[in-house]
Structure 1
């Protein structure tokens, strides 16, 4: 058909031109449907397959993220596949990465973070195992060294872990769930290697920022006393970087408590002591314990005491035992006198004698003796 003939047909309205405004959305929708359907097929095929290699696992993880992004764009609240089963498969993939961080592991964390945007919440045991393995690999994995590629991978892993934890909080926005995640982080807050302790402290700061969500009040729960005691002990950490992050966390927690309880603002004095720099961390720890201790409920106070005593009797490290004892004595009003010593050896000698008495269950304040296990236990 000649060009002139086509033009004549258009002029006579026998052929209607395409409506451009309508054609584009229709074409876009068709494009979205095609990859969505393909991604869903990949997921279902992976769930049904018995043999799965690394390449199939990568395709599966990318497909999960693809479907999640499309469903989020469509403002859907559920997924077209069994979320729990998919999460369990992702956990199995994560468990294969035991030699160190790798792109597959990071992609797994990203996929779980995407899944967390949809109902229903993950089953607690599956979630707990995912978080435990993610923390172990990112915080406690093999040392990276000075390799630029390894350092970049470590940074990418930390960012993915942060998004994972934020996503899980968004999935179940309750203070009880927050304390469950914080408990897992507190383990890494006390390991013997300084780098994981600093990273765990930074993640705790990030999680506490989630408590700005309306309806949350973690300071009313009994576990709050336990959390305060554990975080206060880190003010005596031998590493300056960890102490700095611990001060940041404690300040954040104090502001949160004051806001939720409607109290006047009171800050903790992080004063320096040029003549006795070794005393600063002990003074900061005692100051924090005293400020928080005066605003705990009876059950929170008991939780606080039990957590401090647990640290005082622990085998984690000398600084943990000394810090736990000072936190405990601060609540009893008996810690300030220990700061009068002029030499660190004298202070540590006094603390060692007090710890020995606690271990032996003799010559201790009655408030501490009441917390000690009986001889039958």
Structure 2
């Protein structure tokens, strides 16, 4: 890597870029072997991360076997294990550029070679995220990393939702396991992610539902620690085990999420949760609107009234309420009380159900 003035671009061909990455990885590994805190090179860590950002910028074509992206992920992983901390703005830039390329993995034909490449690259991505979190083990940084994955949770493609939930679950699991993880900061995005995962509990892709459940469990653990509440003193997040088919079990879980988390949220977290749920309710996709309305009702304390004897009856109940709420402008009294307490909400000409 040539030393350049500020603002200059580093001009590297593809072969030189691979060589640069190999040298950087080898240097980092050697420094770690010698237990050195940083590289003994005439470049700052910020300059080296900037070079990695440029490599990703130059290779935005679909990710496939032989591509340069896995080496770039590995290089940033090794750099993240050395001091100083990776600059947050460069970290965000790198991850934002890499994610769309990684998403192309879902479009591969999945022959044996491509499957191995997919598994290895996904594992490298998860390890990178966990290493970046290790640099700055705070809840604010955790949600900065999670925000990068948010678009995948909202994807219409089940494979992309599965990929996003897989990565987020691994990162949340890592955060919970860290002994020195700092929870002092109040993060409003907690509400947004609880709402997103609550909706995904009823996802048609069962893997997505399972991972959404684990992610909610991990977020619950973090919030309990932040509030200083012991697990044995906390409300039960999941209902007692019943012999239920998956669809009905998912609705039972959703009915608990809004109620239990609502008791732990700060005011900004409640607002974030509510905004996300309302966006889902006003979508025409039943995949979003049906669990979204159940989440809202559970949030205001009336979710169980929508639960029927089975999934079909529950969906019929929710659909009826959804029509009243969204299409007829008739909303429950509990919801009126909720929005009346929000300073930024103006209530005009809204009818309410006689509950």
TM tier, smaller: 0.7 to 0.9
State which of 16, 23, 26 in structure 2 corresponds to 1:66: 26
The more displaced of 178-187 and 348-357 is 348-357
State which of 193, 205, 208 in structure 2 corresponds to 1:227: 193
Structure 1 match to 2:298: 330
Q: TM-score, normalised by structure 2?
A: 0.81
Aligned length: 330
Change (3 A) 1:240 1:89: same
2:95 pairs with 1:135: no
Cα distance in structure 2, aligned partners of 1:114 and 1:278: 43
Contact 1:268 1:291 in 2 (8 A): no
Structure 1 match to 2:229: 262
Change (3 A) 1:353 1:140: farther
Contact 1:218 1:224 in 2 (8 A): no
Contact 1:219 1:257 in 2 (8 A): no
Structure 1 match to 2:272: 303
Structure 2 match to 1:149: 113
Cα distance in structure 1, aligned partners of 2:9 and 2:253: 57
Structure 2 match to 1:293: 262
Structure 1: gaps (5+ residues): 1-42
The more displaced of 180-189 and 47-56 is 47-56
State which of 110, 113, 118 in structure 1 corresponds to 2:74: 110
Cα distance in structure 2, aligned partners of 1:176 and 1:99: 31
Q: Any idea what SS the aligned residue of 1:158 has?
A: helix
Q: TM-score, normalised by structure 1?
A: 0.77
Contact 1:322 1:351 in 2 (8 A): no
Structure 2 match to 1:199: 163
Q: Any idea what SS the aligned residue of 2:108 has?
A: coil
Shift of 1:337: 0.9
Contact 2:197 2:213 in 1 (8 A): no
Q: Any idea what SS the aligned residue of 2:155 has?
A: coil
The more displaced of 149-158 and 172-181 is 172-181
Structure 1 match to 2:37: 77
C-alpha deviations, 1:130-149, integer Å up to 9, x for none? 11232222235452223100
Computing the radius of gyration from Cα coordinates, the structure with the larger value is 1
Structure 1 match to 2:182: 216
Q: Any idea what SS the aligned residue of 2:182 has?
A: coil
Contact 1:314 1:320 in 2 (8 A): yes
Shift of 1:330: 0.7
State which of 91, 97, 100 in structure 1 corresponds to 2:63: 100
Shift of 1:267: 4.7
Cα distance in structure 2, aligned partners of 1:213 and 1:237: 33
Shift of 1:219: 8.2
Change (3 A) 1:129 1:270: farther
The more displaced of 133-142 and 180-189 is 133-142
Structure 2 match to 1:15: none
Structure 2 match to 1:282: 251
Shift of 1:98: 1.5
Contact 2:202 2:247 in 1 (8 A): no
C-alpha deviations, 1:154-213, integer Å up to 9, x for none? 011101101211121122222211111112222211211112212211211221122423
Q: Any idea what SS the aligned residue of 1:333 has?
A: coil
Contact 2:169 2:215 in 1 (8 A): yes
Structure 2: gaps (5+ residues): 349-355
Cα distance in structure 2, aligned partners of 1:180 and 1:314: 26
Shift of 1:338: 1.1
